[in-house]
Amino acid sequence: MLLDNFLTKGQEFLGCRYPIMCGAMTWISDYKLVGDVGAAGAFGLLAGGNAPVDMLENEIKAARDYSDKPFGINLITVSPIFKEQLAMVCDQGCDIIMFAGSIPRKPDIRKAQDAGAKIICFAPTAPLALRLIKMGTDALMLEGSEAGGHIGPVSLSVLLQQVLFEIDSVPIFVAGGIATGRMMAHLLMMGAAGIQMGTRFVMSDECKAHPGFKETFRKAKARDAVATPQFDSRLPVIPVRALKNKGTQKFRQLQLEIMERLNAGDIDPAKAQFEVEKFWAGALREAAIEGDVQTGSLMAGQSVGLAEKIMPIKEIVGELVQDAETELQRLHEVFHGAVCT
Instruction: Give pLDDT, residue 251.
Output: 84
Instruction: Give pLDDT, residue 214.
Output: 97
Q: Which CATH number fits domain 2-210+302-340: 3.20.20.70, 3.40.50.300, 3.30.420.40, 3.40.50.720?
A: 3.20.20.70
In this structure, are strands 139-143 and 149-150 parallel, antiparallel, or unpaired? unpaired
Q: In sequence order, what are the beta bridge partners of 129?
A: none
Instruction: Give pLDDT, residue 326.
Output: 98
pLDDT-flagged residues of the chain (< 50): none
Reading across the β-sheet that carries 240-243, which strands appear in turn? Answer: 149-150, 240-243, 225-227
In the chain, how many H helices and how many E strands?
Answer: 13, 11
Whether the pTM exceeds 0.95: the reply is no
Length reported for the chain? 341
Inter-CA distances, 296 with 109, 222, 291, Å: 34, 19, 8
Instruction: Give pLDDT, residue 293.
Output: 95
Instruction: Give pLDDT, residue 250.
Output: 86
d(CA 90, CA 115): 5
d(CA 289, CA 296): 10
Instruction: Give pLDDT, residue 341.
Output: 63
